Amino acid sequence: MRTINLFAILFLIPTFVSAAIRHVPGQYNSIQSAISAASERDTVLVQPGVYNERINFTGKNVVIGSLFLTTGEIGHIDQTVIEGGNNGRPATFENGESHAACLIGFSLRNGSTHLGGGIFCRNSSPTLRNLHIYENRADDGGGIYCVEQSSPVISNVHIIDNTASEQGGGIHCSDNSNPTIFNSQISSNSASSGGGVYCNTNSLPALTDVDIIGNSAESMGGGIVCSRASNMRLVRVVVAENSADSLYGGGIYLGAAEMEIINTTVAQNSTNGNGGGLFILGIAELTVTNSIFYDNSPDQAYQRGSPDPAPVITVSYTNFEGGSNGFVIAGNGDLEWLNGNINADPLFRQTEEGDYFLRVNSPCIDTGDPRSSRDPDDTRADMGANFYDHREGITDFTGLSPSGFGLVAAYPNPFNSFANIVFETDCRRIISIDIFDASGRKVVEMVNGVYGMGRHSVVWNTGIIPSGLYIVRLHSDGLTHQLPLIKLR
């Protein structure tokens, strides 16, 4: 992925200065009572424990966080639980909440309701970060349900072992809902259709750096269902070991919808019908680039039906088992088999343990579209979801020391009205940069997004913030680095 230097100028407004931190259970005996007392932009900071609540943000754009929010310690996620008690759902957003409404650093479990066993969003677009959503149940949307123009930002979220009796074991989105999901895991969920993800009715979900593994459906779309004029984009996604029992699409079901598949691995999915990896029905448009389709059963991909116009299917620079013959056209699909496709064993590292990284001798290394963005090691793009790092043979950055990750400088220091904050990252990461005052109160969230490997700079324009000592805190995946800054006036 090409490194891009991003410059952001943020203007502090009075609401940041006046925002309060409300402590649970120190000041309030429940999360909901703290929400009721909170004003816009307040933070509700929750100590570890099990909270038998069904919280509702009630239209307030507040931050609800465990101690993970202040410490970056991942253990606080499992230690801070919102417990549904099999009677309702742990969290609800239904009053127009924006991305400024944040739920960060919790486990949500044992929800049970009609729609959205773990989290329900209607006409709301909250930020959901660093959550473990598991063992929730619903008719639709076992883990998360999004409806009526809900577009949450979902990052670093594990959605595991949730169940929907109908659609969307992990996530359900419909009616013009456009969730953005990145750096997340959707695994071992089940439903009648769409075991992992279900989207329909003009929805546009975008998934980046997501693992969809080991989900199951009774009928179709063990991993993913995309239907009814929806449009889904997959970038660096692993769709593997999913199953559909009776009908179609062990990995992916595409029906009367559009899908773009980029640098994605579709492997070891299965169905008792057609389309082990991918099934297409109805008017559809599919583009596949820099991807891998391998070891799906009974076939890699299958198109059925004779809609007018015919489905347009474009495949390029992809390792497709069986070549063009591996894509079964039983209907009137228009298959365009373009340049760069190969048919070879991708030589995954260790699939029996869910490891779909590439071995050093994989034919998928450096064989992606040469016009694509280069991999983080500055070589030609690989095929599949997980690139091979030529620099040290490293493909999984989890647990590595933060060499090359940190705050490089904050200058001028001391400063007057603005300061340049320079940071670097050793690989593609979700980065957050927050500013705290001397008392430890967060005064502004500067950055929250994905940055590629390299050095980046942001500018903090402080506006009316008073003089004093401030702490710049950089955080990513359990790694934290901070620097002091002094404002003179």
Alpha-carbon span 34 to 30, nearest angstrom: 7
Same domain, 434 and 389: no
Q: In terms of domains, do 302 and 435 share one?
A: no
| pLDDT band, very low/low/confident/very high, at 489 (cuts 50, 70, 90) | low
pLDDT at residue number 392? 57
Q: Is the pLDDT of residue 266 over 60?
A: yes
Q: Are residues 389 and 480 in the same domain?
A: no
Residue 179 lies in a domain: no
The pLDDT tens digits for 308-353 are: 999 999 999 999 999 999 999 999 999 999 999 999 999 998 888 7
352 Cβ contact list (under 8 Å, min separation 6): none
Identity of the amino acid at 31: I
Pick the last residue of a domain from 347, 369, 396.
Answer: 396
pLDDT of residue 459: 79
Which pLDDT value is given to residue 107?
A: 97
Of 334, 304, 305, 340, give the one whose Cα is nearest residue 320. Answer: 340
Residue 97 lies inside a defined structural domain of this protein: no
- Is 440 found in the same domain as 417? yes
Where does a domain end: 330, 361, 396?
396
How far apart (Å, rounded) are the C-alpha atoms in residues 255 and 249?
10
Rounded mean pLDDT, 444-469: 77
- The pLDDT assigned to 409 comes to 75
What's the whole-number mean pLDDT along residues 23-35? 97
Please tell me whether residues 388 and 482 are part of one structural domain: no
Question: pLDDT by residue (tens digit) across 80-139?
Answer: 999 999 999 999 999 999 999 999 999 999 999 999 999 999 999 999 999 999 999 999
The reply to whether 219 and 288 lie within a common domain is yes
Does the residue 249 lie in any domain? Answer: yes
Q: Is 217 inside any structural domain?
A: yes
Q: Mean of the pLDDT values across residues 422-433?
A: 81
Question: Does the pLDDT at position 302 exceed 70?
Answer: yes
Residues 381 and 435 in one domain: no
Mean pLDDT of the chain: 89
Domain containing residue 436: CATH number: 2.60.40.1930
Domain tally for the chain? Answer: 2
The answer as to whether 101 is a domain residue is no
pLDDT for residue 4: 28
> Lowest mean pLDDT: which of 11-20, 329-338, 382-391?
11-20
- 382 located within any domain: yes
Task: Specify the higher pLDDT residue, 13 or 20.
Answer: 20
Please indicate, yes or no, whether residues 390 and 444 belong to a single structural domain of this protein.
Answer: no
Is there a single domain that holds both residue 251 and residue 315?
Answer: yes
Q: What is the pLDDT of residues 201-230, one digit of tens each?
A: 999 999 999 999 999 999 999 999 999 999
Confidence of residue 458 (pLDDT cuts 50, 70, 90): confident
Least confidently predicted of 21-25, 186-190, 259-263, 376-380: 376-380
87 inside domain: no
Residue at a domain's end among 361, 396, 431: 396
| Structural domain that includes position 275 | 189-396
- Indicate whether 373 and 410 sit together in one domain: no
Q: Flag whether pLDDT at 74 surpasses 90.
A: no
Q: Mean pLDDT throughout 285-307?
A: 97
Per-residue confidence (pLDDT) for residue 397, from 0 to 100: 35
Same domain, 345 and 424: no
80 close to 48: Cβ distance less than 8 angstroms: yes
379 within domain boundaries: yes
Per-residue model confidence (pLDDT) at position 417: 73
Is the same domain home to 349 and 439?
no
- Model pTM score: 0.80
